[in-house]
Structure 1
Amino acid sequence: MKYDVIVFDWDGTLYDSGARIINSIQGAARELKLGNLQPEIIKSCIGLNSTIVMDRLFPQATQKDRDLFMPAYRRHYGLELHQLPVLFTGAKTVLKQLHSLGYILAVATGKNRDYFDKELHYLGLQEMFMVTRCGDEAPSKPNPQMLFEIMEHLGTFPEKVLMIGDTVHDLQLAANAGVDALAASYGVQDKKELMEHKIVGCLSDISELLSWLK
């Protein structure tokens, strides 16, 4: 195998949560009277940690707004739980097959640890990933610290690692860490945007991954 380790982004790559995130940010913004944001603007920030998201989407926000935003977002995010899909179709099967083939699986996500762990538990995937890093444990993507920590934990090297993600932040993260990047064009950002970055390939569906690796 060319790669020993496959690192996945979470939202928009394995977890079909794009609409849920957009709806939750819009709901929190309306609640706090921070304005009505278009989905395309929000999409550009998915995958970044909450501090960076606030800076980019709501530069006018006061400190009080910032203190209130995440609790409001979490309320709306929770309300959306029953309405939207969970994993992308076929994702769980692909993960199980990769695991059985001997690949080491990991996650690098901008999501906070508490929410990520709840979702991982809900999906029954706790044992699938050998190591995970979240947005409140390392600098935001595209800072490479997440991948550096994952590689250090696993005792591996950049040339043995493949990063898969659906945003330019994921692809830049991989490039900054010296790791190959595989784009997922079925997620939140357009294929055209992803193709402008250094990648080794592009998936239009998660089910294509096993064939791509052969």
Structure 2
Amino acid sequence: MSSEYKLLIFDWDGTLADSIGRIVTSMQEAAQRAGRAERDDEAIKGIIGLGLPEAILTLYPDMAPEQVIAFRQHYANTYIALDAEPSPLFAGVAESLEAFRAQGYRLAVATGKARRGLDRVLKAHGWERFFDVTRAADETASKPDPLMLNQILAHCDMRSEQALMVGDASFDLLMARNAGIDSVAVSYGAQSIERLRDFDPVLEVDHFPELRGWLEARAHSRLC
């Protein structure tokens, strides 16, 4: 592998896994159980990527801490029930990630999921040891704070210019910018590509395997 990127960091929901619909449904169900007005689909998609407490407070800024805790539990109960069969990976994700590993890239996940939820889906896909490092929102600072990316860089002994962050939400790309890391925007997730363009991604993809083709072309050009 000769590309200058050596570490590929992926968001989970909406980037690797087709889980946006379940998140929206779970947030609306939690609102019903908490006696709160439901937010519409677009409002909920706009907070995907944040840690759950931060997401809840963005949608319901008047909530007291104990209300956030109760709402969070309603959400978790609904999501876990829906996720009895894990959300499917987007087409080409598994094959592309396997190819990236074979090509020598270090792989990481930086997600707004909680550690318990991330571990559950990694286990469901047989990926407990697939990634070099993973970071979940409840064990570090929520996006767009760059802390989780800085922790991933430190773990992998990489510089920011050697990493590439792939995500579907403004929080992913802003986090990357805050960490001095290049980003890739995917158009098929939570937020529109028009919104993501504000953060100057180095690449836009409509289908995950396009990232593989782009990286392979870059590596080839460096060999020529």
How many Å separate the matches in 2 of 1:161 and 1:107?
Answer: 12
- The secondary structure found in structure 2 opposite 1:196 is helix
Q: Structure 1 residue runs of 4+, over 3 Å off?
A: 82-85
Q: Which residue of 1 aligns with 2:36?
A: 34
* 1:98 paired to 2:100: yes
Shift of 1:98: 0.7
How many Å separate the matches in 2 of 1:63 and 1:171?
Answer: 28
Provide the alpha-carbon RMSD of the alignment.
1.3
Answer yes or no: is the 8 Å Cα contact 2:86–2:121 preserved in 1.
Answer: no
Shift of 1:67: 2.2
How many Å separate the matches in 2 of 1:127 and 1:209?
Answer: 23
Answer yes or no: is the 8 Å Cα contact 1:20–1:84 preserved in 2.
Answer: no
**Residue range with higher mean Cα deviation, 66-75 or 171-180:** 66-75
Q: Which residue of 2 aligns with 1:140?
A: 142
Shift of 1:197: 1.3
AA in 2 matched with 1:37: R
Structure 1, unaligned runs of 5 or more: none
Distance 1:138 1:63, change over 3 A: closer
Answer yes or no: is the 8 Å Cα contact 1:34–1:61 preserved in 2.
Answer: no
AA in 1 matched with 2:47: C
**What is the aligned counterpart of 1:54 among 56, 64, 81?**
56
* 1:174 paired to 2:176: yes
Q: Which residue of 2 aligns with 1:114?
A: 116
- The secondary structure found in structure 1 opposite 2:199 is coil
Shift of 1:16: 1.0
Superposed CA offset, 1:139-183 (max 9, x none): 111110011110011111011100000001000000000000011
How many Å separate the matches in 1 of 2:169 and 2:65?
Answer: 28
Q: Which residue of 1 aligns with 2:76?
A: 74
Structure 2, unaligned runs of 5 or more: 218-224
Q: With structure 1 as the length reference, what TM-score do the two structures score? A: 0.96
Count of aligned residue pairs for this structure pair: 214
How many Å separate the matches in 1 of 2:86 and 2:140?
Answer: 28
How many Å separate the matches in 1 of 2:65 and 2:7?
Answer: 41
How many Å separate the matches in 2 of 1:82 and 1:135?
Answer: 22
Q: Which residue of 1 aligns with 2:203?
A: 201
Q: With structure 2 as the length reference, what TM-score do the two structures score? A: 0.92
Distance 1:174 1:154, change over 3 A: same
